Amino acid sequence: MTGLVTLDKDGQSAEALGHPDDCTEPAPGEVSQYQSETNNVTVTNANGDTQRLAARKDANLKFPSHSHDYSELEGCHDDASHTLLPPESKVSSSVTIDGSPVFVVGSAVETDPKTGGNVNIVAGGINSSVGEQ
Ligand SMILES: [Zn+2]
């Protein structure tokens, strides 16, 4: 089963690898709403939290600024933030909203543009029990 992904409440649904161990590794990211397009398809979990499902046309992966290099002299530096969109091959092949595929939990859905390390979607947002076969 593959978990469908909602927009992120806590900013911990994605991770980017390849950064220095002395800094933030993996760098945490969130599944976030993109621009103004929205859908109204929501799920509610056992705690009563309701979030929209993350579809490719209106969601992306946002990684706040984090360091990509470390030296004793400079400490953590070479900071950058990333905004990434998983390719069609890394989103749901069967669940779509208005023709737009929904994000799914998975590894190597993208690569960190500065380290080349894997970017993983590690949690389904508020509700990892929503799934597709
Ligand atoms: Zn990075």
pLDDT in tens, 116-133: 999 999 988 876 555 554
Cα-to-centroid distance, 106 and ligand 1 (Å): 18
Mean pLDDT of 51-56: 92
Q: What confidence score (pLDDT) does residue 72 get? A: 96
Compute the half-sphere exposure of residue 61: CA atoms within 13 Å on the CB side of its CA.
34
Q: What confidence score (pLDDT) does residue 116 get? A: 98
Cα-to-centroid distance, 39 and ligand 1 (Å): 29
Cα-to-centroid distance, 37 and ligand 1 (Å): 26
What is the domain partition of the chain in residue ranges? Answer: 2-127
Cα-to-centroid distance, 104 and ligand 1 (Å): 21
Cα-to-centroid distance, 133 and ligand 1 (Å): 32
Cα-to-centroid distance, 95 and ligand 1 (Å): 29
Amino acid symbol at 46:
A
Cα-to-centroid distance, 64 and ligand 1 (Å): 9
Q: What confidence score (pLDDT) does residue 49 get? A: 86
Mean pLDDT of 86-94: 94
| Residue-level length of the chain | 133
Binned at pLDDT 50, 70 and 90, residue 12 comes out as confident
Amino acid symbol at 127:
N
Residue with more model confidence, 112 or 133: 112
Residue closest to 4 by CA, chosen among 38, 46, 42: 42
Q: What confidence score (pLDDT) does residue 13 get? A: 93
Q: Distance between the two ends of the chain, CA-based, in angstroms?
A: 5
Mean pLDDT of 83-96: 95
DSSP code string of 11-74: S-SEEE----TTS-SSEEEEEEE-SS-----EEE-TT--EEEB-BTTTEEEEEEEEEEEEETTT
Percentage of the residues of the chain whose pLDDT score is greater than 90:
67
Give pTM, 2 decimals: 0.89
- For tokens 């969601």, name the residue: 59
Cα-to-centroid distance, 12 and ligand 1 (Å): 15
